[in-house]
Amino acid sequence: MSETIYTASPSPHIRSNITVKTIMRDVIIALMPALIVGIYFFKMNAVLVILTSVVSSVFAEWLWEKLTHKRITIGDLSAVVTGLLLAFNLPPTIPLWMVIVGAFFSIIVVKQFFGGIGQNFVNPALAGRAFLLASYSTAMTKWTVDGVTTATPLAILKTGKGTLPPITDLLIGNIGGCIGEISAIAILIGAAYLFYKKIISWEIPVTYIGTVLILTLLFGRNGFYEIFAGGLMLGAFFMATDYTTSPVTSKGKIIFGIGCGILTAVIRRFGPNPEGVSYSILIMNLFVPLIDRKTAPRIFGEVK
Amino acid sequence: MELLTFKKGIYPPHNKYLTEDKEIIDMLPKEELVIPMLQHTGAPAVPVVQKGDRVLKGQKIGEANGKISSNVHSPVSGTVESTKQIYTSFGKKTLALVIENDGKYEEVKYPEKRDYNSMAVDEIIEAIKEAGVVGLGGAVFPTYFKLMPPKGATIDTIIVNGAECEPYLTGDYRLMLEKTNELIEGLKILLKIFPNAKGYIAVENNKEKAYKALKDAAKNEKGIEVCYLKTKYPQGSEKHLIYAITKREVPSGKLPLDVHCIVQNVGTVISVYQAVVFGEPVISRVVTVSGDAVKEPKNLRVSFGTSFKDAIEECGGFKEEPVKILSGGPMMGISLSNLDYPVSKNVTGIVALTKKSTDLSDETSCIRCGRCIDACPMNLMPALLDNLSRLNRYDDFKEKGGMNCIECGCCSYVCPAKRHITQSIKKGKLNSKK
C-alpha cells in the first residue's frame, strides 16, 4: 500500500460557495438602507438601540453556548441578524435595558431553548418584540418624529385623531414608527438585493402584501396607502421570509403569505391595536410544520 | 434553438477546459497489470487461466458467471504471475489476476470483419456479451442484459448518453469528436436489435463541436436524431435524460424499459461497434485524468489493471499536493485513500483535487432554507429525508420517497450548512432495504 493517505469522504466532493454565514451577511447588507434611514430620522436614539440590541444578542448567544458547552456559533452572524431585526422592530425611545431584556429573550428563550439556529419555531426577533410589547406596552408604543411625540399613520387611522401624513412621507420614512420600518423605499432597496442574491423568493412577500392590499380595499379603505404603513414592508420581506420559521416548499410559501396577509388585514381592521404584522407572522409560524407536510412536492416518477 | 432538459438540478462549474481540447492518447501499459475479476455490476467473473499461464492480448481470462456478469480480457500478452484479493475503486473486494506484461502485445486471432446487417440479433448480442461490454458511463451494468428486455416489453427509443454532466470529465466528449462514425455505427447496431425504435444521441450544449460533428455525420441517417441538451447537472442521469427527450417519467422503482427506453453511454456504444464488427473485447477505456493537482491533465486510453498512480504519472504527476483522489467526477465519484487501485471498466476519470478546489467544511445545523428542495431533480425533500435517516426512522423515510433518491449529490452541493445530505440518504436507503 502507498504511504500517502488521501482524504476519503462521501460525494459530492465540491460544494457551492454559499454558506450560512454568506447568507446572513447578505441579509445584513440588505438591512443597511433601512438602518441608515432609521439613524437619519431618529439620530442617536436609533444608534444606541441598534448597537445595544446587536451586541446583547450576540453576547446572549455566546454566553448560552459557553455555559451549555456547545459549539460557539456567533460566527455564522445569525445573532447579528436577530439583533438588527429586533432593533428595527422597537421604537427609538425605548429604554436600553428593555432592549437587553428583549435580546436575551429572543436569543435564549426563543432560539437556544429549542436547539439554536434552524430549530426555533417562531421568529426570534418578532417573539422578542411581542414579549416586550406585552411587558412594557407604554414604552413600546411611544412614537416620535423629530423628537416630538406623534402617532403612527396606522394609529391615526384606527383612532381617527390627527392628520395622516402624505404617502411620500411613508416612502421616505418621515413618520412615527419602529426604527427599521419607517421607510418603504429603504426596505424595498434591501429587498431587491435579497432577490438579486436569490436569498428570498417572491412567494411570501408578494402574496402577503397582495393579500393585505386586496382585503384592505375590500374593507373600503385605502389599501395602496396602508401597505406602506406600519411594519408590513419590513415584515413581508425580512421577517416572514425567515427560513427557519417559514415553509420550505413554493406552494407552502404561497399559503403562508396569504395566511399572514389575511391575519394582518383582519387585525388592522377589527382588532383593538392599529397594527398586526408581528402577531400575524408569529401565528403563521405555528402553521409551518402542518403546511410543509401538506405541500410536499410530487416525487419524479411517483404513481398515485 | 430550444434546449431539452429536466426540472430543477444545479449548475456547478464544469471545469472541462482543462482537458476538452486534448486528444485521446493511448497510454502504454506498464510491466505489471492487476486485473480485477469484478469490473461490473453483478457476479464476479471466474478466472479461466492459472498462475504461470501465458496469455495473449485480448484473451478471455475471466468468464462471466451467472445471469448478470461479464467476461474479463487481458489487455496485454504476458504471464499470469499471481492472484490476489484487492479492493476495486468502487469499494468491492474481489479476486484480481496479476499479469506480467512481456511487451510483445501478441494478440488473439480476431474474426474477419463482419457486416452487422447480415448478422442475426442473437449473434449480435452474443458478440457484445463475449466482448465483456458493460456500461462505461460508470455504472458498469452488463450491456447484453440491457439489450434483452423481458418478453412483451416494447422498446421504441434508444438514447446514446453523451451528456457527460460530471464536472472535469471529457472522455465522452473526445470520443464523440474522434470516433463519430463508430458511434453512429454502434447506434445502428442497437437499432438493428430493436428495429421499431428511434435512435437519439444526446449532447449537452457545452459540447458544441461534438454536437455539430454528430449532426453532420447523422444527417443521412433516417432513424437517428441528435438532440441538444441544456448544460445542467445531473443531465446525464438515465431518468432525467429520458425525461428531457421523451417527456416520459420512469415510474418509481421501475426501469427505463418500462417507458420503452434503453439508454447507453457513448463509450459503450463504440465498444458495441468494435465487439460486433471486429470481435474486439473491452480491454481499455478512456479516462480523463484531471483536477487542479495534476500537472498536465489529459484524456488517456488506459488498459485495465494500470494503477491510478501510473495513470497520474503519465500526466506528469502532481504539481500540487492533492487532498482528494477521485475515481469518477466530483459529484458522484468515489474518493480513494491511495493510488494503488487499478483502473477498471468503471473509471470514467481520475480527478485529483487540492484543498482549495474541494470542500472539507464541517456540518452545521439545517436552517431550513429549502435550497435542497429547489435542487433535487427527483423532487424529494432532502433535508427531511436526511433528518429521518439520522433518526433511524426508516418507515417514514420510505413513506417520504427516500428510495427514489438517485444519489446525484445536488442537495449536498447547494446546502449552505454543508450537511452531508446525500450520504445520510444513502445510509437511509441501505438500512431501509434490510
* Inter-chain touch A14–B413, beta carbons under 8 Å: yes
* Inter-chain touch A19–B377, beta carbons under 8 Å: no
pLDDT for the residue B89: 93
* Inter-chain touch B331–A73, beta carbons under 8 Å: no
State the ipTM, two decimals: 0.92
- Look up residue A132 and give its three cell numbers: 416586550
Within-domain flag for B45:
yes
Which overall architecture, per CATH, does domain A20-292 show?
Orthogonal Bundle (1.10)
pLDDT for the residue A1: 46
Q: Are residues B198 and B170 in the same domain?
A: yes
Residue B340 CA to its chain's centroid (Å): 20
Q: Are residues B66 and B168 in the same domain?
A: no
Q: Report in angstroms the alpha-carbon separations of B47 from A60, B76, B143.
A: 67, 16, 21
Half-sphere exposure of B116 (CA within 13 A, CB side): 25
Do strands B78-87 and B24-26 pair parallel, antiparallel, or not at all (unpaired)?
Answer: unpaired
pTM of the predicted structure, to 2 decimals? 0.93
The shortest C-alpha distance from B2 to chain A (Å) reads: 23
Cβ neighbours of B396 in A, within 8 Å: none
Q: Which residue of chain A is at minimal alpha-carbon distance from B369?
A: A243
Domain edge (last residue) among B254, B278, B302: B278
Which residue, among A6, A7, A13, would best test binding to B if mutated, counting the most B CBs under 10 Å from its CB? Answer: A13
- Look up residue B325 and give its three cell numbers: 483522489
Q: Are residues B176 and B303 in the same domain?
A: no
- φ, ψ of residue A48 in degrees (nearest 5): -70, -45
Residues in A 55-94 with any Cβ partner in B closer than 8 A: 73, 76, 78
Residue B301, pLDDT > 70, answer yes
DSSP letter for each residue of A74-120? GGG-HHHHHHHHHHHTS-TTS-HHHHHHHHHIIIIIIIGGGTSTTT-
Cβ neighbours of B414 in A, within 8 Å: 16, 18
- Look up residue B260 and give its three cell numbers: 420503452
Reported as a single tens digit per residue, the pLDDT across B109-156 is 988 899 999 999 999 999 999 999 999 998 899 999 999 999 888 999
- φ, ψ of residue B240 in degrees (nearest 5): -80, -25
Domain edge (last residue) among B246, B278, B310: B278
Q: Are residues B126 and B263 in the same domain?
A: yes
Q: Which residue of chain B is at minimal alpha-carbon distance from A252?
A: B370
* Inter-chain touch B250–A301, beta carbons under 8 Å: yes
Within-domain flag for B359:
no
Cβ neighbours of A5 in B, within 8 Å: 337-338
Reported as a single tens digit per residue, the pLDDT across B390-425 is 999 999 999 999 999 999 999 999 999 999 999 999
H-only helix segments in B9-153: 121-130, 143-146
Q: Which residue of chain A is at minimal alpha-carbon distance from B356?
A: A14
pLDDT for the residue B64: 95
Range of the domain at B319: 28-109+281-353
Closest by Cβ to B381, choosing from A18, A296, A300: A296
Q: Which residue of chain B is at minimal alpha-carbon distance from A2?
A: B338
Within-domain flag for B92:
yes
Contact A130, A278 (CB under 8 A): yes
Q: Report in angstroms the alpha-carbon separations of A54 from A91, A209, A263, B307.
A: 15, 28, 29, 57
Cβ neighbours of A115 in B, within 8 Å: 365
> How many pairs of residues across A and B have Cβ atoms under 8 Å apart?
161
Q: Are residues B172 and B274 in the same domain?
A: yes
Within-domain flag for B19:
no
Q: Are residues B161 and B72 in the same domain?
A: no
DSSP B65: -
A5 touches chain B (CB under 8 A): yes
A119 touches chain B (CB under 8 A): yes
The candidate with the shortest Cα–Cα distance to B304, out of B37, B115, B100, B33, is: B33
* Inter-chain touch B364–A1, beta carbons under 8 Å: no
- Look up residue A111 and give its three cell numbers: 432560539
Query: Total domain count for chain B?
Result: 3
The shortest C-alpha distance from A142 to chain B (Å) reads: 35
Q: What are B301's strand-pairing partners?
A: B26, B286
Domain edge (last residue) among B324, B353, B382: B353
Reported as a single tens digit per residue, the pLDDT across A92-123 is 999 999 999 999 999 999 999 999 999 999 99
The candidate with the shortest Cα–Cα distance to B258, out of B250, B266, B270, is: B250
Within-domain flag for B12:
no
Based on the number of CB atoms within 10 Å of its own CB, is A174 exposed (0-12), middle (13-18) or buried (19 or more)? middle
Q: Which residues contact B282 (CB under 8 A, 6 or more apart)?
A: B73, B131, B132, B133, B134, B136, B271, B275, B345
Report, as an integer, the average pLDDT of B188-214.
Answer: 96
Q: Are residues B256 and B214 in the same domain?
A: yes
Contact A82, A180 (CB under 8 A): no
So where are chain A's domains?
20-292
Edge-to-edge strand list for the sheet holding B32-36: B32-36, B93-101, B78-87, B54-55
Q: Which residue of chain B is at minimal alpha-carbon distance from A242?
A: B369
Q: Are residues B158 and B265 in the same domain?
A: yes
DSSP letter for each residue of B351-381? EEE-GGGS--PPP-------HHHHH-TT---
Interatomic CA distance for residues A284 and A147, integer angstroms: 35
Q: Are residues B272 and B287 in the same domain?
A: no
Q: Which residue of chain B is at minimal alpha-carbon distance from A18?
A: B416
DSSP B319: S
Within-domain flag for B6:
no
* Inter-chain touch A14–B332, beta carbons under 8 Å: no
- Below-50 pLDDT ranges, chain A: 1-2
At B190, the amino acid letter reads L
Domain of B82, CATH number, reads 3.10.20.600
pLDDT for the residue A151: 86
Which residue, among B357, B361, B368, would best test binding to A if mutated, counting the most A CBs under 10 Å from its CB? Answer: B368
Contact A117, A20 (CB under 8 A): yes
Q: Are residues B85 and B135 in the same domain?
A: no
The candidate with the shortest Cα–Cα distance to B242, out of B426, B251, B167, is: B251
Q: Which residues contact A291 (CB under 8 A, 6 or more apart)?
A: A247, A252, A255, A256
B336 touches chain A (CB under 8 A): yes
Per the rule left: phi > 0, alpha: psi between -120 and 50, beta: everything else, B317 is: left
Q: Report which of residues B360 and A34 the model is more confident about.
A: A34
A297 touches chain B (CB under 8 A): yes
Cβ neighbours of B381 in A, within 8 Å: 248-249, 296-297
The per-residue pLDDT of chain B, averaged, comes to: 95
B258 touches chain A (CB under 8 A): no
A304 touches chain B (CB under 8 A): no
Interatomic CA distance for residues B138 and B134, integer angstroms: 9
Cβ neighbours of A200 in B, within 8 Å: none
Closest by Cβ to A11, choosing from B332, B360, B367: B332
- Look up residue B152 and give its three cell numbers: 412483451
* Inter-chain touch B12–A5, beta carbons under 8 Å: no
